[in-house]
Amino acid sequence: MGNRVEEALLDKALAQEKYLIASNILHDIGNAVIGLSSYVTRIRRLLEQDNSENLQNLAGFLKSQNDSIATAIGPTKADAIVKLVSGIAQTQKANQLDISNANLELQKIINHIQDILNIQRQYINNPDTSEKREIALKGLINDCIAMLLASFKKRGIHISIDVPDTLPLFIGDRTKLMQVILNVLKNSIEAIDIYASDKFVSLNGSASRNWLTLEIRDSGRGFDEETSKKLFTRGFTTKKTGTGLGLDHCRTILEAHDACIDVSSEGPGRGALTRIKFTV
């Protein structure tokens, strides 16, 4: 008997140890990736201040002045200078394009790593993967909105929440469900053009006999039918630096909750509606 207790204690200590190691690793990788990301951003900024056009203008100017330069230093030298400068201008432009593409790919990889880290962090924070308890939809939503409030404000997106606190409670893993809602809200934020005039995200909660439904509507760019078929395919993304892991991850979590999710749109430019249904 004593042995079993000892074994159980040892198991617990080992699990605790593993948990600590894993969370330290995630923390360190996370910090390293943030450092990496800041340099990639810096390179992108520098690239945006692209001055290859100046050099091209100079090449064009020298070409137009070929005759006067030839009078001064002779036609052979003039020709060589004009050719040299326009060659440099061309190479610089091509290199800049290459660097810019590589920078974009690098940012994609960083986003991918960050998405994976976020997913792993959840398991770490919640080693008992089936930690389910009673949840109030309203509280869940309020916590998610609080986390993204700065993003909404920065982009001038209006949020409206209509989730009555009289809705029935349901059973679930709070951390994982927050991840689902955060993913969906992030997609909405990313779908809304910063220059649009009427920017909103609205959340609506309702209950019927067997279902608790959360609808998240946005005024974003929406999508066509072809895209709608692929939304949940792991790795499908239409974003420059997207990973296409978000919705797949949402669906996996929701399926483990006997819940379902669908994302629809009336077409490009007409926003999107994400509907999540929990059984009660």
Ligand X SMILES: Nc1ncnc2c1ncn2[C@@H]1O[C@H](COP(=O)(O)OP(=O)(O)O)[C@@H](O)[C@H]1O
Binding site for Mg ion (CB under 5 A): 187, 246
Sign of CA dihedral 92, 94, 100, 106: negative
27 in contact with ligand X (CB under 6 A)? no
Residue whose CB is less far from Mg ion, 89 or 182 = 182
Q: Which of 263, 276, 277, 278 binds ligand X (CB under 6 A)?
A: 263
Q: Which of 26, 82, 231, 254 binds ligand X (CB under 6 A)?
A: 231
Provide the H-helix boundaries in the chain: 2-48, 52-64, 66-73, 75-125, 137-155, 174-191, 225-228, 246-255
Q: Which of 177, 247, 259, 261 binds ligand X (CB under 6 A)?
A: 247
Report what 215 binds from ligand X, Mg ion, none; CB cut-off 5-8 Å by kind.
Answer: none
Q: Which of 141, 157, 222, 277 binds ligand X (CB under 6 A)?
A: 222
Cα 277 from chain centre: 24
219 in contact with ligand X (CB under 6 A)? no
The first and second tokens of residue 251, run together, are: 């669906």
Dump the DSSP string for 55-94.
HHHHHHHHHHTHHHHHHHH-HHHHHHHHHHHHHHHHHHHH
243 in contact with ligand X (CB under 6 A)? yes
Dump the DSSP string for 202-250.
EEEEEE-SSEEEEEEEE-S----HHHHTTTTSTT---STT--S-HHHHH
223 in contact with ligand X (CB under 6 A)? yes
Contact set for ligand X, span 143-202 (CB under 6 A): 183, 187-188, 191
Q: What is the nearest approach in angstroms of ligand X to the Cβ of residue 70?
A: 56
Report what 223 binds from Mg ion, ligand X, none; CB cut-off 5-8 Å by kind.
Answer: ligand X
Provide the 10 A C-beta neighbour count for residue 204: 16
Report what 218 binds from ligand X, Mg ion, none; CB cut-off 5-8 Å by kind.
Answer: ligand X
253 in contact with ligand X (CB under 6 A)? no
| 3-class secondary structure, 263 | strand
Residues linked to residue 170 through DSSP beta bridges, in sequence order: 135
Instruction: Identify the burial level of 220 via C-beta atoms within 10 angstroms of its C-beta, where 0-12 means exposed, 13-18 middle and 19 or more buried.
Output: buried
Q: What is the nearest approach in angstroms of Mg ion to the Cβ of residue 183?
A: 6
Q: Which residues bind ligand X (CB under 6 A)?
A: 183, 187-188, 191, 218, 220-223, 227, 231, 236-239, 242-244, 246-248, 263, 272
